[in-house]
Amino acid sequence: MEWFPIELVNIKEIKMALTEETIQDKIEIVGDYKMVQVRTAVVIKRDGTEISRSFSRHVVAPNISADDLANESAEVQAICNAVHTDAITTAYATHLENQEV
């Protein structure tokens, strides 16, 4: 068996830092019953540069339970506490009752 010399090549190890960040980037108050619409963005970055962003949304209605509201961010809780007044909550409950067939 014959051996052939192999030229060794200096291979650099490339390390990339991928990070994922979840942020609530938009909070809107919508409609007569002051629905609080929350947009959440998931941002993927490579070495600090954004390479991907995806969105999801959810709505917080005036009839949210205290337990469910406690699971929202402090900012969403503060907004809901400000706009979901007794009058709005009562009007929304009446609206829901009138929708039942």
Residue 60 is predicted with a pLDDT of 98
Could you tell me which residue, 50 or 12, shows the higher pLDDT? 50
Q: Which of 54, 57, 90 is nearest to 76 (CA)?
A: 57
The pLDDT confidence band at residue 83, using thresholds 50, 70 and 90, is very high
What pLDDT, in 10s, does the model give residues 39-74? Answer: 999 999 999 999 999 999 999 999 999 999 999 999
Domain assignment present for 10: no
Domain assignment present for 7: no
Q: How far out from the chain centre does Cα 87 lie?
A: 29
Residue 16 is predicted with a pLDDT of 79
Distances (CA, A) of 2 to 5, 61: 10, 79
In the chain, the number of structural domains is 1
Residue 43 is predicted with a pLDDT of 97
Find the farthest-apart pair of alpha carbons in the chain and give their distance in angstroms, rounded: 92
Domain assignment present for 46: yes
Full domain range(s) for residue 95? 18-99
Domain assignment present for 83: yes
Tell me the whole-structure pTM to 2 decimals: 0.78
Domain assignment present for 8: no
Residues 6 or more apart in contact with residue 92 via CB below 8 angstroms: 33, 61, 62, 63
Q: What is the mean pLDDT of residues 26-38?
A: 98
The pLDDT confidence band at residue 15, using thresholds 50, 70 and 90, is confident
CB 38 within 8 A of CB 76: yes
Domain assignment present for 3: no
Domain assignment present for 6: no
Domain assignment present for 85: yes
